[in-house]
Amino acid sequence: MKYTNKILDAEAKASFDFFWNTASTDDASYGLIPDNTLNHEMCSIASVGFGLAAICVGVHRGWITREAGFERACRTLLTMNTKPKTNHGFYYHFLHMDTCQRYRGCELSIIDTALLVAGALCAGSYFGGEVLEQANLMYERIDWDWYRNPETGYFYMGYDDRNNPDRHFGAWDMCAEQLIMYVLACGSPTHPLGKDVYYGCPMSNSSYDGIENIYHSPGGALFVYQFSHAFIDFRNKRDARGIDWFENSVKATQANRKWCINHSHQFKTYHANSWGLTACETPFGYSGAPGTAPSLVDNAAINDGTVAPCGVVGSVVFTPEESIEAMEYYARDPRLWSEYGFLDAYNLDVEPAWYSERVIGIDKGIGLLMIENLRSGLIWDTMMGHKAIQKGLEVMDIR
């Protein structure tokens, strides 16, 4: 089916405008994109990654010229390759919008670096030439093994050198959003890892309300089932264990919606067209806690009634009919809409009812890329054409 729904048009164009209009055009920090519209000092490197892929969508849709897109992508990558301080090729999670340097005391982030690199490779594959050269240069610098615990084989969760010059912490030892990390690490032309980094990661498998065998994260937030799928086309593919990650995300999304319907008696914000619990802003600050079963926590005790539209928009490739119905429901409430599309979240279970006043870059990015993948497969087709992505999936035995 070819989707031309008006709300898809509106949300996609408004989300693209966020990336195009808020990006720095100053020579000192060209291409940096703010984490959100209320903090003009802090750049999210993941937002830059989504923004690089967004440029491809903008050209494809005719919102900008190919020449303008090429220049923006090329100069952004030049900035990222020459100005921020990195460590073994990895970037700090947040950067100062003016200086390109580490924002306050944030960590060196492997997952956000992976999302940045994914967007870079997408733009590089789309435009070719100097954009591809700069994207490959960024990618080839990354020493993936440095971010890996030699005793467990897991990737560390983060690296924070504020009080210790060599302090890795935590572990990616659960099913979450990190599939893109494994594909990039296994496909690296300079520092490749073997498939054991992927198959060694423990998996939690459970069911919810008749939906069987869902490989799930500890908290059940929807973004973990979305981010890697924005770039990698996992449709009709299985790994050596028989796991179909695309189908897994379909089931997790269906479970998320069912959970909200089943708990509508407890939270008046939740119902069949108001679902998609995921990390977002809440009335009490930003939180990664919103999520649903299956998970390892008591979601009903943790959730507060907050719903983020990006939860359903980012799942539009998994549940197109249900997601579009929810988007149309959200669009009927003008308090949820801004110049950059849906605001980040809302909550009717607090007094007075609460509506976010900002949009967040990664939430705009996941929605924009997934809408385009639903409609044309552009990001999937572009990424799957890069030889490193092909190699990574082959090494991982995902076929």
Rounded Cα–Cα distance for residues 375 and 385 (Å): 18
Three-state secondary structure call for residue 266: coil
Buried b or exposed e, range 325-339, using 16+ CB within 10 angstroms? bbbebbbeeeebbbe
The residue length of the chain stands at 399
Give residue 160's pLDDT: 87
Amino acid (one-letter) located at 294? P
In 218-359, which residue ranges form alpha helices assigned H by DSSP?
Answer: 227-231, 245-262, 299-302, 309-313, 320-331
In whole angstroms, how far apart are CA 63 and each of 33, 52, 66? 19, 15, 10
- Cα separation of 92 and 167, whole Å? 14
pLDDT computed for residue 321 by the predictor: 96
Tell me, yes or no, whether 1 lies in a domain.
no
d(Cα 58, Cα 61) in Å, to the nearest integer?
5
Q: What is residue 354's DSSP assignment?
A: E
Q: What is the token pair recorded at 279?
A: 């990390």
Residue 115's domain comprises: 6-395
Q: Given this model, what pLDDT does residue 2 score?
A: 61
Q: How far apart are the first and last CA of the chain?
A: 25
Q: How far apart are CA 380 and CA 370, in angstroms?
A: 10
Spatial CB neighbours of 105, under 8 Å, sequence gap ≥ 6: 160, 162
Among 290, 386, 382, 379, which residue's Cα sits nearest to residue 16? 379
Tell me the HSE value of 58 on the side-chain side, using a 13 A CA sphere. Answer: 27
Residues 6+ apart with CB under 8 A from 50: 19, 115, 119, 230, 361, 362, 364, 365, 366, 368, 369
Burial annotation 158-177 (CB, 10 A radius, 16+ → b, else e): bbbeeeeeeebeebbbbbbb
CATH number of the domain that residue 251 is part of: 1.50.10.140
Give the other-Cβ count within 10 Å of 345's Cβ. Answer: 29
- Per-residue confidence (pLDDT) for residue 166, from 0 to 100: 66
CA dist., res. 135 & res. 184, Å (int): 13
> Residue 6 has what pLDDT?
95
Predicted local confidence at residue 3, as pLDDT? 66
pLDDT digits (tens, 9 = 90+) for 41-81: 999 999 999 999 999 999 999 999 999 999 999 999 999 99
156 close to 147: Cβ distance less than 8 angstroms: yes
Q: How many domains, the chain?
A: 1
The pTM is what? 0.98
Q: Is 348 part of any domain?
A: yes
Q: In this structure, is residue 170 part of a structural domain? A: yes
Q: What is the pLDDT of residue 161?
A: 81
Which portions of the chain are predicted below pLDDT 50?
Answer: 1
